[in-house]
Amino acid sequence: MSLYSKRGVSAQKEEVHEATKKLDKGLFPKAFCKIYPDVLCGDDAWVNVMHADGAGTKSILAYLYWKETGDISVWKGIAQDAIVMNLDDLLCVGIFDNILFSSTIDRNKNVIPAEVLEAVINGTQDFFNTMKDFGVNISFMGGETADVGDVVRTIAVNGTMTARWPKDKLITNEKIKPGNVIVGLAGFGKANYESSYNSGIASNGLTSARHDVLHKTYGARFPESYDTSLDESVVYIGQNRVTDMVKDDNQSFEAGRLLLSPTRTFAPVMKKLLEDHFETINGLVHCSGGGQTKCLKYVPENVRIVKDNLFAPPVIFRLIQEASKADDREMYQVFNMGTRLEIYTNEGNADSIISVSKSFGVDAQVIGRVEKAEQKQLFIKTASSELIY
């Protein structure tokens, strides 16, 4: 059993998929988000999409960093995480504008004071203001903030996004086919619309990342930060405190800041691509839960996905792997490993897509291709291994 499983979490969410298997898959089963007819206005040429997600256990990292340093600014990043895990999923069906957002915050009032709530809520609006500068309009509709200390140890920050969108401007992944190439967009580095270096960690796999990287003393000092029913052998097994410096080439980063890098949104990039290059995009996949294996749920059945030119994993993933001793198979199944958005397109269109992405300071490259196969399969080549899922 993997460390991830021993900590009570699942990269593949098998039990969730089993519980929801009887639900309607919507108009386009391979689309990244469930798409429904336009029940709001009854127009057959439009569709409705509603999506819910959140920052997950990354909020616990913010809690630890804030308690250790007093720096409340980290909560702004958690607000961004909860938004982007919704927004960038919507991007993957072609939606990039005129979006509604409702926030849901559950806290333990005894450990999370009002100033943290204010930082999260104000951080939410700050992110929307930034996106508006790039023509991505998101309306903050308020939401629910509840004091539920009997349920939540620290704080859970989630949200729901809703949009009404033209049916002829959707990306449904039905056009993905053998012969396509896959352009990968990097989740790390510093985009033109970001204020600092982004580690690329996003908001998946943070339970393992936290326990693998951080020092055992955090469990003793902050028992509210983890499930105390876990075996102690998987609780905070790392060597680092949040303020310890981690070296990478000629740069140094705080371990806590690497783990807390706000999830990068690709909205400015994708708005440009979806407006000017819509016809060239055959499919979109956000490498969120399930990491580099996420695509298996959304591509056609009789294809082999080959990823043999992924970005070299940035420092945060090397730090996690060295601490956990996890093999490549588990790492690429849990984490995005630095390549976080996949654009499926014809080979002749790849260069123009890459050029647009790089104009925003977001690195991009052809990471693989789609081949014909008798049954669906994913092949990943890393620096040290070849993986088949």
Residue pLDDT, tens place only, 282-316: 999 999 999 999 999 999 999 999 999 999 999 99
Angle in degrees, CA 31, 37, 38, rounded to 5: 125
pLDDT of amino acid 257: 97
Residue 371: half-sphere exposure toward Cβ, Cα within 13 Å: 12
Which residues of the chain register pLDDT less than 50? none
Angle in degrees, CA 320, 321, 325, rounded to 5: 125
Give the closest residue to 222 by CA, choosing from 55, 67, 9.
67
Give the closest residue to 341 by CA, choosing from 284, 296, 294.
284
pLDDT of amino acid 8: 67
Asked: is 3-13+24-196+260-388 a CATH 3.30.1330.10 domain? The reply is: yes
* Average pLDDT, rounded, for the chain: 95
d(CA 110, CA 113): 7
Q: The dihedral of CA 106, 108, 113, 119: what is its sign? A: negative
Q: Looking at the DSSP assignment, which residues form a beta bridge with residue 306?
A: 369, 379
Q: What percent of the chain has pLDDT over 90?
A: 92
pLDDT of amino acid 101: 98
pLDDT of amino acid 220: 96
163-180 pLDDT per residue, tens: 999 999 999 999 999 999
CB 301 within 8 A of CB 357: no
pLDDT of amino acid 114: 98
d(CA 202, CA 187): 8
Close Cβ partners of 15 (under 8 Å, ≥ 6 residues apart)? none
